[in-house]
Structure 1
Amino acid sequence: MNLSHLLNQRTSSFPHENQEAMLLDGLKRLTEHHRSLCSGYRNILQATNYTQSKCHTLEEIPFIPVNLFKNLELHSIRCPEDIVTILASSSTSGQKPSQIFLDKETSKRQSQGLTQSLKPVIGDKRLPMLIIDTPSSIKTKPLTARGAGVLGLMRFGHSYCFALDDDHNLNLDLLEHFLEEHAKQPFLIFGFTFMAWMYFLQKCPPHTNLKNGILIHSGGWKKMQEQSVSPDEFKSAFFSKTNLSKCYNFYGMVEQIGSIYLEGSDGILYPPVFSDVIIRDPFTLVPLPPGEEGLIQLLSLLPLSYPGHSILTSDMGILRQGVHGRGIEVTRRAPKAEVRGCSDTHVFGIRK
């Protein structure tokens, strides 16, 4: 089965063991693809004595640490002119950012992956969209992660309304007009978690009606924790003040953009059908069973233009068995890990 077929599968169309077998086949193909086109990755496989014939499980797919993208230019693009976008994640002072090289095909796959991931919660149709951000967020050059996130989600909406002005003040007139037009039908809301909490929820009038809204949000949990606001308290506060009940957090990163782990009804973050997750002991790197905290390894069929199909992150998490199958709880950054979040990511090069 080819990679395109794998990407278009639905979770409900086959049992878990079949999904795992197809993921293994696709990831092994990607490993060979990147071995043939990326010299740096080829050297890594050689140094680790990886042999495809001895790879029989997802846990045996070779992985590279996420910070390696800060030190090496790793891509599997034959011609430089085929690079259409370079994504970079900012880091602490003095640290070099990651560089993620995208071609048209990988960008297309990422778009398809995002669509497939969000379809269960927003459906097949584009919805009126309330954006908890400023109009200038999508106009800055280079484009920030906020802007990239907004633009990525705007493909699922129409009749856009930016709820904040450029000074981050809630524009009550625009909000009221949007809700008068669209509040009686399903509508999409997108914003980064901290901004949705600080600049929107804390400022909107009492009894604001978001009953038919679907809030998609991510990032900024470090700031939320500093204010002692848990995910459950975040949801509860939105429901109490706005009657919003459909609230979905997601986990993702620039090194595997397009592969998002969307929150289920039980609060667990679930991988899309073209992805999977492994938790490894931070000292031995041995895979851990459900319930034990370790480093998060992310697997994805999306990256064709760079060897990001199997990466070991700097985040700690726990495997959980939930109502929708196996997912993860992200607990914290690994000790001594460089602190960075999705809001530090920006696009610094786009070729026409």
Structure 2
Amino acid sequence: MQDFKSFSSRLSNLKSEEFENLALQLFEFQSQSNPIYRKYLEARNVSTQSVKSLDQIPFLPIRFFKDHQVISGDKANYSEYFSSSGTTGMITSRHYIWSEDWYLDHAQQIFESNYGSLEGSHVLALLPAYLERKGSSLVSMANHFIKESKSAHSGFYLYNQDELLEKMEMLAADGKQILLLGVTFALLDLAESGKSFSAPGNLVVMETGGMKGRRKEMIREEVHDILKPFFGVKEIHSEYGMTELMSQAYSKGQGKYTLPDSMRVILRDVNDPLSLSQRSQGGINVIDLANFHSCAFLETQDLGRFDENGMLEVLGRFDNSEIRGCNLLVQ
């Protein structure tokens, strides 16, 4: 398991029936090689040998990334990290990474499995809160997508709304897909700017990142009801990811997410974080096999549910938890 390159290659062609076996192998490795996770298991009096199935795996609270280096293996192998966003004075998470190049390839594979090849698309990234700081995994991913699109029109935008609208109108005649990837508050600012806009029919609007303390929190339906008429789209797409995860999930509308092959979600009881939920709704625990270098078993502060078709809906956050991550709208 110390051979991360070999393990990472297995994820690119992962079959659903292989997930549990691979996750259990990873649990055995990380329970021994990750000092923070090992101490957490010891505090909960959990032995590696007692875990035989996914529902028996303990999930590390995501807040440990704020105060500790959550690393599997030799710390000397890690120098790069992604950091989370946060308001002034807030302690941010650091996720030390094995390889940024691998992360970007993995992110591209997940995206293209949902939306097709990046080449042939125009990627417009409206990410002001992220561009104004260093260490954002989302900016790294967006920059990679921009390069892989091989479009001279792809690029980042801060607060230059007029330039962005003109660019989208100009690309309308192109026929290629236009992906507008935007932090939620910036998309709302644009939609409520009073500017006139002839929406192109080849536009995909994808919101991520929430409000970042810039606006009051809103339920998803309110946000989408403002964005859809302005951008002339039937659905608003969403990306669900966070600093502490190497994988992303995507929604093509109504806030319902398709999980990538490398990720599983198990819901926990909202009143007892150590117990699994007996209902279709609860706190979101994530198994992300792409976190093979850190900790693949994370207890997030998000609430979720599964619909009748097994798709994940992210409902919001637990009370009094910090607002962070991507697409954390209050439901």
> Counterpart of 2:74?
78
Q: Per-residue deviation at 1:239?
A: 4.6
Whichever residue aligns with residue 184 of structure 2, its letter is: T
Q: CA deviation at 1:119?
A: 1.9
Distance 1:24-1:121 versus aligned 2 partners, 3 A rule = closer
Task: Write the distance in 2 (CA, Å) between the matches of 1:212 and 1:36.
Answer: 50
Which AA in structure 1 matches 2:292?
L
How far did residue 99 of structure 1 move?
Answer: 1.6
More strand by share: 1
Q: Which has the higher contact order (CA 8 A, sep 6+)?
A: 1
Residues 108 and 246 (structure 1 numbering): CA distance in 2 closer, same or farther, change over 3 Å? farther
> Aligned match of 2:38 in 42, 45, 68?
42
1:273 maps to a residue whose letter is D
- Output the amino acid matched with 2:306: L
* TM-score where L is the length of structure 1: 0.76
Shift of 1:330: 1.6
| Helix, strand or coil at the partner of 1:226 | coil
What amino acid is aligned across from residue 281 of structure 1 in structure 2?
A: D
Question: Once the 2 structures are TM-superposed, how far is the Cα of residue 173 of structure 1 from its aligned partner?
Answer: 4.3
- Local SS of the residue matching 1:316: strand
**237-246 or 122-131: which moved more?**
237-246
Q: Distance in 2 between matches of 1:130 and 1:204?
A: 22
* Cα offsets for 1:179-209 (capped at 9, x unmatched): 44x2x23232222222123225745524x23
8 Å CA contact 1:135, 1:162 repeated in 2? no
* Aligned position for 2:182: 191
Paired AA for residue 162 in structure 2: L
Secondary structure of 2:153's counterpart equals strand
In structure 1, distance between residues paired with 2:130 and 2:88: 23
Match of 1:159 in 2: 152
Structure 1 alignment gaps of length 5 or more:
345-352
Deviation at 1:306, TM superposition (A): 1.2
- One-letter identity of the residue aligned with 1:98: S
> Residue 237 of structure 2: which of 248, 252, 260 is its match?
248
Distance of 1:136 and 1:315 partners within structure 2: 21
Distance verdict in 2 for CA 1:77–1:117, change over 3 Å = same
Match of 1:117 in 2: 110
Q: Aligned runs of 1:262-341 on 2, under 5 Å?
A: 262-265=250-253, 267-285=255-273, 286-292=275-281, 294-307=282-295, 309-322=296-309, 326-341=310-325
Quote the residue 1:126 is aligned against: 119
Which residue of structure 2 lines up, in the alignment, with residue 101 of structure 1?
Answer: 96
Alignment equivalent of 2:65, drawn from 69, 93, 108:
69
Task: Say how many residue pairs are matched.
Answer: 321
Measure, in 2, the Cα distance between the counterparts of 1:53 and 1:298: 21
Percent of residue pairs bearing the same amino acid type: 19
2:140 to 124, 142, 148: 148
